[in-house]
Amino acid sequence: MTASELTMPSRRALIGGASKTLSVAGLAMIVSGCSYAAAPTSAGATSQDVEILNAAIALEHEGIAAYQIAATSGLLQPAVVEIGVTFQGHHKGHRDLLIKAVEQLGGTATEEQSQDHYVEALGVASLKNQEDVLRLALKLERGAANAYLGLIPSLGNDFHQVAAQMAGDEAFHAAILASALGESIPKAPLMFG
């Protein structure tokens, strides 16, 4: 069994269960007073949201793992570890919100992969010092801010605001990392998206 087989057990079930998804989502709304699926949506739109939100969960899993690997790498000074752990906490918060949203839509959230998978996927072996680690973090955070903004037009209305909020958090992280790395402030507006 490959690592990716482990992580996305739900996908086939989701596609097959699209019509079931809607009624489960409707039920979840009634039971929990859900703030997401306020308006009735088609089954296709709901399962599309589940797919996209699950990709965002996979992105958050990777970000959380990246900060974990960084914090335990021995390459970072204690003060930097502390900041990284705070940023990691934000990503855990995103992950939890996204998991809740997927479950409220009747889907199954994507699970995280093994630590070994992330070490390999992120090319951790080539990181030699603190600056390398911060550059990787900046690349991931900048990419994540752009990713969330690019997801908005594909997501249902109920998720536009939360995706923008997450993009805001990632942009905040990116700004601090860029500043720490001595990058100059971009002159032009609309830096992300």
Partner 1 sequence: MGTKASTWVGIGLTTTVIGGILLANGSQSQQQTRHVAGNVAEIAPSIPSLALPVTMAAASNHAAAGKKLYQAKCGACHSLDKNRVGPRHRNIVGKRAGTVSGFRYSNALKKSKLTWTAKNLDAWLANPSKLAPGTSMGFRLTKADERSAIIAYLKSVSRKAK
The Cβ of residue 6 has, within 10 Å, a number of other Cβ atoms equal to 13
Residues 6+ apart with CB under 8 A from 189: none
Task: Name the amino acid, one letter, at 85.
Answer: V
By rule CB under 8 A, what count of residues binds partner 1? 61
CB of 121 to partner 1, least distance (A): 5
- Give 124 or 147: the residue with its C-beta nearer to ligand HEC: 147
Binding segment toward partner 1, per CB under 8 A, in 21-29, 31-39, 100-108, 177-185: 177-185
Spatial contact of 127 and 75, defined as CB atoms under 8 Å apart: yes
Q: Which run of H or of E encompasses 12? A: helix 11-16
The b-or-e profile of 117-147 (16+ CB within 10 A means b, else e) is bbeeebebeebeeeeebbebbbebbbebbbb
* Contact status: 77 vs partner 1 (CB under 8 A): yes
Task: Indicate the residue type of 135.
Answer: R
The least distance separating ligand HEC from the CB of residue 150, rounded to whole angstroms, comes to 6
Does 147 interact with ligand HEC (rule: CB under 6 A)? Answer: yes
Decide: is 137 part of the binding site for ligand HEC (CB under 6 A): no
CA-closest candidate to residue 94, choices 129, 53, 40:
53
> Are the C-beta atoms of residues 41 and 156 closer than 8 Å to each other?
yes
Stretch 88-127: interaction string toward ligand HEC, x if CB under 6 A: ----------------------------------------
Judged by beta carbon, residue 71 or residue 162, the one nearer ligand HEC is: 162
Chain contacts with ligand HEC (rule: CB under 6 A) = 55, 59, 147, 150
Binding site for partner 1 (CB under 8 A): 2-5, 7-8, 11-12, 15, 44, 47-48, 51-52, 54-55, 58-59, 62, 77, 79-80, 83, 120-123, 129-131, 134, 139-140, 142-147, 150-151, 153-155, 174, 176-184, 186-188, 190-193
